[in-house]
A and B are shown apart, each in its own frame.
Chain A
Amino acid sequence: MITLNVNNKNYNVDVDPETPLLWVLRDTLGLAGTKYGCGIAQCGACTVHVNGQAARSCVTRVSSLAGKKVVTIEGLSEKGEHPLQKAWIELDVPQCGYCQGGQIMSAAVLIRENKNPTEKDIDNAMAGNICRCGTYLRIRKAIQLAAEIQRKGG
């Protein structure tokens, strides 16, 4: 039995310690907002936060998470009011939406560490998140808008 703290709730899960976090989130805890894309940390669709840092949940073993705090897209904010979520809605960023949870979780680390990112900062920070619909330009705009909302205290 392994105890996981996900979105500020403790869960006791009876899984093989080598199981990747993504499978536990989706299949055991029913948190399906985090997506399976490639399974080898190449696409970013499964990005969550572990102790505040981005982590590819498809390659993160649950055995490495004892005592750590995991946050998924469902736990990024209580009511969907994170500046990134507001900006994403404002600019209607998603097309199919499959990668967007991972995009937002990566962007959340960026705007926490860089309050006013340039386009280059955004491109460097988001290069590990792939979008098959090609929504990159809207993602970039939304991150700039989110940073602005954040600077204004929103």
Chain B
Amino acid sequence: MKIKKTYFFPLKAVIVLAIIFSVIAFMSFGFKNDLTITNAKNEIINKDSVESVKAFMDVYKVLMSPRCMNCHPAGDVPLQGDDNHLHNMYPQRGKDGKGIYAMKCSNCHQPTNIEGLNTPPGDPNWHLPPANMKMVFEGRTPRQLAKQLINPKKNGNKTLQKLIEHADDGLVKAGWNPGEGRTVPPLSHEEFKKAWITWIKSGAYAPK
């Protein structure tokens, strides 16, 4: 008599299930790598492209406002005013971003603001980005700017952690204390910083 082998699960079903579990396990491993990145402090950052892009669009509004973009021009002369016209006197960027000869930024821009309408705003470290890394904002689309900001070869060699810290840089914050006669960026510094950190920590996605 031929004995027919019986299984609790049919062999075919076991094989199919094994394949399915393997695929799921592989995918979950893959997703885990994809879902997490670490910053310089090895903190886990959760990727969320929707949240990240949404936050960046707030960031973009601020970075393209005159108080930020005027010192990130496409050319070698800073911009001025809410209409982004070329700076009076056409001061040149210079190698270090601090001007040239008797036209250095700090010749007129004092460590702090001075009284009076449209007088030179102040900061101890007034400058443009240097000539070898111009970090241009003017004319950049949201996608271009986002990609540029996270590229250490184009962002001043900044890691994600350094980028987060940059939100509290003295010259960045000077944008919210621009002196009489100038508008401030469209978000408060607190709102900007929150959006900036959210953008970075949720994956620093570039909008499409």
Contacts and interface: CB of A to CB of B under 8 A. Distances in A.
B118 A40 contact: yes
A24 interface: no
A100 B191 CA distance: 49
B92 interface: yes
A60 B111 CA distance: 9
Contacts of B116: 39-40
A14 interface: no
Interface stretch (B3-11, B62-70, B96-104): B96-104
B39 interface: no
A45 B92 CA distance: 20
B111 A110 contact: no
> Interface size class for chain B?
20 to 34
B36 interface: no
Given A56-B107, A56-B108, A60-B110, A42 B102 contact: no
Nearest to B92: A124
Given A54-B107, A61-B114, 17 more contacts: A39-B116, A40-B119, A40-B120, A47-B107, A53-B104, A54-B101, A54-B104, A59-B114, A59-B120, A60-B110, A107-B102, A124-B90, A124-B92, A127-B90, A128-B102, A128-B103, A129-B102
Task: Please indicate which of the listed interface residues A39, A121, A124 has the most CB atoms of chain B within 10 Å of its own CB.
Answer: A124
Interface in B79-118: 88-92, 100-104, 106-108, 110-111, 114, 116, 118
**Chain B contact residues: over half helix, strand or loop, or mixed?**
loop
Contacts of B104: 53-54
A126 B102 contact: yes
A53 B108 CA distance: 11
Contact of B88 (A42, A61, A106, A124): A42
B89 A127 contact: yes
Contacts, number: 66
Nearest to B104: A53
A114 B100 CA distance: 10
B120 A124 contact: no
A55 interface: yes
A59 B101 contact: no
Contacts of A53: 104, 106-107
A121 B100 CA distance: 9
A44 B118 CA distance: 16
A53 to B, nearest CB: 6
Interface in A80-135: 105-107, 109-110, 113-114, 121, 124-129
A128 B110 contact: no
A41 B120 contact: yes
Given A55-B107, A106-B102, A128 B120 contact: no
A77 interface: no
Nearest to A60: B110
A110 B102 contact: yes
